[in-house]
């Protein structure tokens, strides 16, 4: 979640930077056109590309909340909780809602103290607090002088008239009550519709520090304990928690009303953030895997229609896969997975009761293999990975959160590709994990593992749940597994898991167990202790870029940073211990290491032959970028033109992404980057084409590019190279789009390829869109292939008239339209080329009866990003500013101004946008 302060308009500096980029691109394309235009008639037509294996998108990470971080004193250690929760909710009740509860916490006193301090936030006391014990003395108690709540520190302090003695056990007894809100944090209520009826459910989300909002507790990950949980609820609901229910009975409240009491078995030892509760009127499907009863709960309609069958079918096999590979059994007798209509995270790994967004578990039973299935496999695999990394062994403190999330993200891909062999593990991992986080990591000033002392006070734990923790953690793990070999790595993980089961660890504990495995064999030799190697990756910011000089065979490392920003050059002198996988002339070479800032490798000196080349970081096995000298880049470019398959697909992907990023950050000129794109007419991998298009046509520069002198040259240069792969996939779309169901990269990236071809004006692409859209108009039961539906609808309207636009409007307002189709049509109607249609669409957007208020900003933003639309949107916003600012407020209009800001050009427009910003977001 980004800040709201910046990015609302383009000033002179930003406009100049964009112009510089376009001028550089234009100059490079002109040079290439002159250089390669001579070969146009001589070159033989390239062979048609062939389809490749698919790969999924990463699951999005969870969204915990911010909050202050206060460590508890180490006087008391929790051993066991007896917890009763009573949400006072009846079906159809209007609210407001509340819950009450009682918690009895058995603790061991580690140091004498006259106060018991534990976490509590937003709770009020209910009844008198008490302290029983020491338990070795029957009937003994310590008198409580008072109970004080420190809301700022989120703690409750039981002030005692006596002292708790070290070595003794006591029971802290506290009654409490709290509000039951609809905010998706702590214990919350959410409303939904099932089979046409409005319903409510209650669920929980405790990570990172929300358990203290549900019951007073020692809410730190290392303060593990066992739990006996009892939930009192309306008889029409079923209650779920971490463990199986062992008793269901009835009780009457003070008014004589009947409630159900569900009591659960004693839990394993676990952290408070993993306690979980769901009270609902759901159905479930079930199967048993190796004695583990697996149930997937969802709305009754969804269960009846088979929407969770796929998730059920893969959960057991992933469990077994992880048990087998890690050689550590899953310790619980049951596992519930619950699909909530509304949940703040993609999934949450609570032991025995995992909670998901519906979209993370549901798909249509008729789907053979889709991007949604791949996403479900990834999300489920991630949360199942947590049953070992996070639940069984938990990080000591949040500074090592990557031990939970990074390792779970790594096994997420192994588990998903195990149950879906159609997915190509290396391609999806690099395309969806390594490459995106490399782009992000250079801009983020934090290391993967922070010091414990840094995570305290006003530090926001929310900031740790980011792509650095998830994807960099997974990427570093991938690299570690690579240079150790998977066999040794898994052996070390098994040792680590067994040593710290039902306990906690830090990253040094992991390094110790890896070192033990390395020391016990002689096949893998490391240049330094494991801790020294890995701390260089986890304890310092960013990552290195390696610069290779082929003449001398010298490799130099430095921290990758933006050389265009001169202020950033002062502070970087970091050194990593870097594993270098490499090949020479197509032959893999032994792994070597760079353990200093610069080192000569005589074996990497090349001859004068144009066919003598070096490739570093083969298949992106290391977490770094490579900057080749001009000699090697020219040889690689020539090799790609002659025989692109001589370089592995992932390495081709890496070469292109590296060189464009190096250009963006000031390491190489754009001519160098474009040199490596000359071969693209022979590139048949969609995931490579996607990274090319993302670099050459950034989404936020599409309209700017089209109105710039560079556009005709970019069009000519790209279309010449895109035609083979475009025609290959267009043939499938025209004849049998269902044949692409097993090609996940087609489902993920074909839309971008087709949209680019249409944007570049390829007539066949425009005709194809028009044909498919007309087919839909003639027969509304016809389904445009979903993987290209957004582009077809957009360009079907763009090349059409008001008839095509009116049909989209009619289908948008169709009562049976689903949300995904509504989003597609909302965008497509902004693609019209007639100004009056766009203006009418904007006017419709102001109507409360036609659209909800949040659609208004979406409509304006969509129109503003179109070639002719941004002028119309600008005038519309300017004319209607009083109405917009009064009716829709800050949040909705922020996105509008951000979209508008990319297209302001004149001084008057810049001043108007600044004025709107000042009015909208006053300091």
- List the catalytic residues: 383, 470
Handedness of CA 856, 858, 863, 864 (dihedral sign): positive
Within 8 A by CB and 6+ apart from 194, the residues are: 281, 299, 300, 301
Q: Can you tell me the distance from the alpha carbon of 279 to that of 200, in angstroms, rounded to the nearest whole number?
A: 9
Q: How many residues does the chain have?
A: 923
Q: Can you tell me the distance from the alpha carbon of 543 to that of 681, in angstroms, rounded to the nearest whole number?
A: 33
Token output for 153: 């520190």
The string of DSSP codes covering 778-834 is H-TT----GGGHHHHHHHHHHTS-HHHHHHHHHHHT-TT--HHHHHHHHHHGGG-S-
Token output for 31: 């040079």
- The three-state DSSP-derived secondary structure of 591-647 is EEEECCCEEECHHHCCCCCCCCCEEECHHHCCCCEEEECHHHHHHHHHHHHHCHHHC
- Distances, alpha carbon 632 to alpha carbons 550, 584, 620, in Å: 7, 11, 18
Within 8 A by CB and 6+ apart from 290, the residues are: 316, 319, 320, 323, 330
Cis before 134? omega within 30: yes
Within 8 A by CB and 6+ apart from 542, the residues are: 441, 442, 559, 560, 561, 572, 574
Q: Can you tell me the distance from the alpha carbon of 28 to that of 35, in angstroms, rounded to the nearest whole number?
A: 10
Q: Cα 387 to chain center, whole Å? A: 19
Contact predicate 170/107, CB 8 Å: yes
The angle at the Cα of 151, spanning 145 to 155, to the nearest 5 degrees, equals 55
Within 8 A by CB and 6+ apart from 501, the residues are: 328, 392, 393
Q: Cα 830 to chain center, whole Å? A: 29
Other C-beta atoms closer than 10 Å to the C-beta of 137 total 10
The string of DSSP codes covering 707-743 is TSTHHHHHHHHHHHHHHHHHHHHHHHHHH-GGGGTT-
Q: Can you tell me the distance from the alpha carbon of 708 to that of 698, in angstroms, rounded to the nearest whole number?
A: 14
């Amino acid at each position: 979640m980004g800040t709201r302060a910046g990015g609302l308009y383009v000033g002179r500096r930003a406009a100049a930077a964009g112009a510089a980029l376009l001028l550089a691109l234009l100059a490079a394309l002109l040079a290439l056109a002159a250089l390669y235009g001579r070969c146009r008639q001589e070159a033989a037509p390239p062979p048609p590309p062939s389809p490749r294996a698919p790969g999924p998108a990463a699951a999005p990470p969870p969204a915990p909340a911010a909050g202050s971080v206060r460590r508890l004193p180490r006087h008391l250690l929790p051993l066991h909780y007896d917890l009763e929760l009573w949400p006072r909710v009846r079906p159809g009740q209007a609210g407001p809602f509340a819950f009450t509860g009682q918690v009895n916490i058995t603790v061991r006193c580690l140091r004498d103290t006259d106060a018991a301090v534990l976490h509590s936030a937003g709770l009020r006391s209910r009844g008198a607090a008490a302290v029983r014990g020491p338990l070795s003395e029957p009937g003994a108690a310590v008198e409580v002088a008072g109970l004080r709540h420190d809301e700022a520190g989120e703690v409750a302090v039981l002030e005692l008239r006596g002292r708790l003695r070290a070595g003794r056990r006591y029971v802290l007894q506290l009654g409490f009550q709290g509000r039951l809100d609809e905010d998706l944090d702590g214990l919350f209520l959410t409303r939904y519709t099932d089979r046409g009826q409005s319903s409510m459910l209650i669920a929980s989300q405790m990570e990172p520090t929300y358990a203290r909002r549900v019951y007073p507790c020692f809410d730190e990950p290392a303060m593990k304990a066992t739990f006996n949980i009892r939930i009192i609820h309306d008889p029409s609901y079923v209650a779920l928690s971490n463990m199986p229910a062992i008793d269901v009975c009835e009780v009457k409240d003070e008014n004589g009303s009947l409630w159900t009491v569900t009591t659960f078995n004693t839990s394993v030892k676990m952290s408070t953030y993993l306690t979980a509760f769901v009270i609902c009127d759901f159905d479930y499907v079930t199967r048993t895997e190796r004695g583990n009863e697996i149930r997937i709960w969802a709305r009754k309609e969804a269960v009846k229609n088979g929407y969770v069958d796929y998730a059920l079918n893969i959960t057991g096999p992933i469990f077994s896969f992880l048990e087998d590979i890690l050689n550590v059994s899953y310790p619980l007798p049951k596992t519930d997975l619950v699909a909530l209509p509304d949940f703040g995270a993609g999934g949450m790994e609570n032991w025995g009761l995992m909670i998901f967004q519906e979209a993370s578990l549901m798909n249509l039973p008729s789907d053979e293999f889709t991007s949604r299935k791949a996403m479900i496999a990834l999300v489920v695999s991630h949360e199942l990975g947590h049953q070992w990394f996070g639940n069984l062994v938990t990080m000591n403190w949040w500074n090592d959160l990557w031990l939970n999330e990074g390792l779970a993200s790594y096994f997420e891909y192994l588990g998903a590709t195990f149950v879906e062999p159609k997915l190509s593990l290396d391609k999806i991992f690099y395309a969806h994990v390594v490459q995106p986080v490399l782009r992000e990591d250079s801009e983020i000033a934090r290391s993967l593992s922070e010091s414990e002392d840094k995570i305290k006070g006003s530090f926001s734990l929310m900031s740790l749940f980011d792509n650095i923790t998830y994807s960099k953690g997974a990427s570093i793990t991938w690299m570690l597994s690579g240079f150790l070999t998977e066999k040794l790595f898994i052996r070390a993980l098994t040792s680590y898991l067994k040593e710290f089961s039902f306990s906690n660890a830090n990253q040094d504990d992991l390094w110790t167990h890896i070192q033990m495995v390395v020391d016990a064999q002689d096949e893998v030799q490391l240049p330094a202790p494991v801790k020294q190697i890995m701390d260089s990756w986890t304890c310092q910011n960013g990552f290195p870029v390696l610069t290779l000089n082929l003449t001398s065979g010298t490799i130099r490392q430095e921290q990758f940073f933006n050389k265009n920003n001169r202020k950033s050059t002062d502070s970087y002198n970091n050194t990593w211990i870097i594993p270098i996988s490499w090949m020479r002339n197509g032959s893999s070479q032994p792994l070597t290491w760079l353990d200093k800032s610069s080192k000569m490798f005589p074996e990497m000196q090349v001859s004068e032959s144009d066919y003598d080349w070096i490739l570093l970081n083969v298949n992106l096995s290391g977490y770094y970028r490579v900057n080749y000298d001009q000699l090697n880049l020219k040889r690689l470019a020539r090799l790609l033109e002659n025989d692109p398959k001589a370089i592995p697909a992932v390495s081709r992907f890496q070469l292109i992404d590296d060189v464009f990023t190096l250009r963006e950050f000031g390491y190489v000129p754009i001519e160098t980057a474009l040199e490596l794109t000359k071969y693209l007419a022979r590139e048949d991998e969609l995931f490579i084409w996607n990274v090319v298009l993302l670099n050459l046509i950034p989404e936020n520069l599409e309209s700017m590019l089209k109105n710039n002198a560079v556009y005709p040259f970019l069009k000519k240069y790209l279309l010449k190279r895109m035609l083979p792969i475009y025609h290959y996939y267009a043939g499938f779309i025209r004849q049998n789009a269902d044949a692409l169901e097993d090609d996940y990269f087609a489902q993920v990236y074909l839309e971008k390829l087709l949209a680019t071809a249409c944007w570049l004006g390829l007539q066949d692409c425009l005709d194809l869109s028009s044909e498919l859209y007309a087919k839909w108009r003639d027969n509304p039961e016809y389904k445009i292939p979903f993987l290209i539906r957004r582009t077809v609808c957009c360009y079907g309207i763009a090349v059409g008239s008001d008839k095509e636009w009116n049909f989209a409007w009619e289908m948008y307002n169709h009562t049976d339209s689903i949300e995904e189709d509504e989003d597609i049509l909302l965008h497509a109607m902004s693609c019209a080329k007639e100004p009056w249609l766009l203006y009418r669409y904007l006017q419709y957007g102001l109507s409360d009866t036609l659209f909800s208020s949040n659609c208004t900003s979406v409509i304006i933003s969509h129109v503003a990003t179109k070639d002719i639309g941004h002028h119309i949107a600008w005038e519309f916003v300017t004319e209607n500013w009083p109405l917009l600012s009064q009716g829709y407020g800050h949040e909705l209009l922020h996105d509008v101004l951000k979209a508008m800001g990319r297209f302001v050009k004149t001084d008057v427009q810049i001043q108007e946008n600044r004025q709107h910003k000042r009015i909208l977001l006053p300091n």
